[in-house]
Amino acid sequence: MNQLHHFEIREATAADIPALAQLYRSFLAEQIEFSPIVIENPDFDWANERRLKLNRSNEKIFVADAGKIAGFIWVLVRAGSKQNQQRNILKFWKNRKLNVQPKFTYIPHGMIQDCYIEPQFRQSGVGTALVEFAKSWLQSQG
């Protein structure tokens, strides 16, 4: 039987960075367990990397706060507009010595980059709540 947890979904803040860094270490440990091609860089500064993500307007990290951070979801929006994306791709190729045109362009889209729930909070609705909250934010971005 699953224990009922009370939690609030909110945008991550700078105060959450130490907890997020630890959650990312746990997330990576699980990735390594399932994929032998993933190797952790022991010198990587998780706290600084999370801090940088908090300051990007096209990316959000939402957390489930149950008195401690029970989980997170990192979402992002790619491409401001189809025209901007095409312009950026063409600029990229124009700056290359190759005379090659891009095969495709991205239309604006949102995506879930990462999501991790602490084991003791799994099967309690935390993950579902994070995904629904993230979907709502992505839809609000167009």
Structure confidence by residue, pLDDT tens digits, 66-117: 999 999 999 998 865 555 556 666 666 566 555 556 666 667 789 999 999 9
The CATH number linked to 34 is: 3.40.630.30
**pLDDT confidence of residue 54:** 74
* Residue 4, domain member (yes or no): no
Confidence label for 32 from pLDDT (cuts 50, 70 and 90) = confident
Q: Over the chain, what is the mean pLDDT?
A: 81
> How many domains, the chain?
1
* Residue 95, domain member (yes or no): no
Over residues 111-126, the mean pLDDT reads 94
Asked if pLDDT for residue 60 goes beyond 50, the answer is yes
Range of the domain at 36: 9-76+110-140
**pLDDT confidence of residue 12:** 94
Asked if pLDDT for residue 1 goes beyond 50, the answer is no
Chain mean position to CA 130:
12
State the helix-helix crossing angle for 17-34 and 46-54, rounded to 10 degrees. 110
**What pTM was computed for the model?**
0.74
Give dist(CA 45, CA 117) in Å, integer. 21
**pLDDT confidence of residue 127:** 96
> Is residue 63 helix, strand or coil?
strand
* Residue 87, domain member (yes or no): no
- Both tokens of 73, joined, read 């979801």
Instruction: Give the list of residues 6+ apart from residue 61 with CB closer than 8 angstroms, or none.
Output: 11, 12, 16, 20, 50, 53, 54, 72, 73, 74, 75
Neighbouring C-beta atoms of residue 133, cutoff 10 Å: 19
* Residue 89, domain member (yes or no): no
> Is residue 110 helix, strand or coil?
strand
* Residue 92, domain member (yes or no): no
